[in-house]
Structure 1
Amino acid sequence: MIAVENLTKKYADHVAVDDVSFVCKPGRVTGFLGPNGAGKSTTMRMIAGLTPVSEGVATVGGADYRSIPNPGTQVGVLLDASAQHAGRTGAEILRLNALAMGLPTHRVAEMLELVSLSPQEAGRRVRNYSLGMRQRLGIANALLGDPRILILDEPANGLDPAGIHWMRSLLRDYADRGGTVLLSSHLLHEIEIVADEIIVIGRGRIVAQGTKDELLAGAGTRVRSLDDTALFDALQAAGVRTRAADNGGFTADAQPEEIGRAAARAGVVLIELRPGDGARLEERFLQLTVDTQRENHTARGDFS
């Protein structure tokens, strides 16, 4: 299990991670999502003992990562697939790490086969690897010690569609066998498929967390009218945040009763008013992080 309590990281006057708390449970894949610069990687580096904590506590399997004896046999970490010795071959990197962990040499061949790096590829220097090959080598290294916990930052970056499917199956099987997975990714569709729990962070703070079903259940209220321009003005006047729907009308962050009253005050005739359907993860992610994103979403139909 991974437990994070009131974790904070400050750089002078800048707060990169602000009072973050969550738990990743055995047998579950926890997706860790947020815009660029939201604090995901900093949080994961603090959990893995690579970045000093300003305040709070992060434990892995009940202990501070740095106090775990032979940590690679307990926790597999992949935070930057490019941070590997470019002058060594893939096989050499795994053999050296196996030696450091006191593992039998046959684990190297097993991991290379698991991540589908051929003997010829394993014999190449890492400087000649593609990003996808470096990701596979990083995953092999994370799994080398047969750990109970995985911490992976963007592990699918650089993988082709077949590789992403392989990664998804690998992580799902790992969790189903009782492993704990903390996974960050910008591939929201893949997180939606594989994750059991989801944590969303923005500007260093948790903005939402819960099971996937809990987070995707809240999709607001669906509303359409004979005059959507007048409806939009009425909802804006009532302080209701709205997003244009694909087939006309809006999804609004308010209860149907509130929307009905706003429309009635403006004399707008409604032709549809109902609880929204379950959201897709991309839609929900944009809703939850709208105030922390760099881009202006008005051009994409976000009228909030």
Structure 2
Amino acid sequence: MARPDVNRFGEMDVFVRVVETGGFSAAAQKCGMTPSAVSKLVARLEDRLGARLFNRSTRRQQLTAEGAAFYDRSLRILADLDEAEREASASATAQGKVRLSCNLPVGRQLLIPALPLFFERYPGVSLDLHLSDEVVDLLEERADVAIRSGTLKDSRLVARFLGESGHQVVAAPDYLARHGAPQHPRELVEHNCLGFSYRRIEPDWPFLGRQAQDPEPIGNTLASDGDSLRHLVLAGLGLARLGTFQVRDDIAAGRLVPVLEDFNPGDTKPMHALYLGKGGHLPARVRAVLDFLAEHVRIA
């Protein structure tokens, strides 16, 4: 049993900072301590645990197997502590900071335009927005809510359905004027087909009647997120297959033109707001965000 004068939460926090920053000096800057103090704290922690947490070298600190296990458990404990403190301080009123992770197209086209209404309704809540198409681990990032598309796999998370979106292949009118519009998916090999730079679970370009031997569409530019891909298409660089909610306004305004609609398989991708809360005890600030997303940031 730990001595009462040992600040175990403080030790965990410093230890996690060392892992995340890659060394004692960087962690010391984050924690407002000296590198020597951080080194001594980690050494005391190892002595108390009776286990080596790092394999030390002159260049970096590498986790041992015991250190990796302790790091994973520390992340969960610190996240629970943060949640307990925020929930206690907020009581029943929606107030405090909510960390919200969201992909770029949904964030820029659906979430941000709705935020003035959100802050008018919940003036005591502040948001820490992380907009990226990269998948975020809620525990590691200490995020409260994440908006994600596609099939759900993480059983630790609770999902709130926000709708689903179809897909369309689109191009700018000037691109089609220069290169013509493809009439069959096989003709895409003659076009500049823009895509994503990260690996996706499902095929990027499924079409009705497509055969396994049909060539994959390829192009000269890849993008790391859907919002950048949309802007590449708007610039007339090529064709792309994007979510209908992303391009609906562009099509209505004539900035983009759908192509190969006769071969659109009609596939849809669900969108959910995910959060950690299987026990049913959600802080008012998180529940306010979830309720607002379900009402005003719906995908269709």
TM-score computed with the length of structure 2 as normaliser:
0.27
User: Which structure shows the higher strand fraction?
Assistant: 1
- If asked which structure has higher relative contact order (CA below 8 Å, sep 6+), I would say 2
Q: Which of the two has higher C-alpha Rg?
A: 2
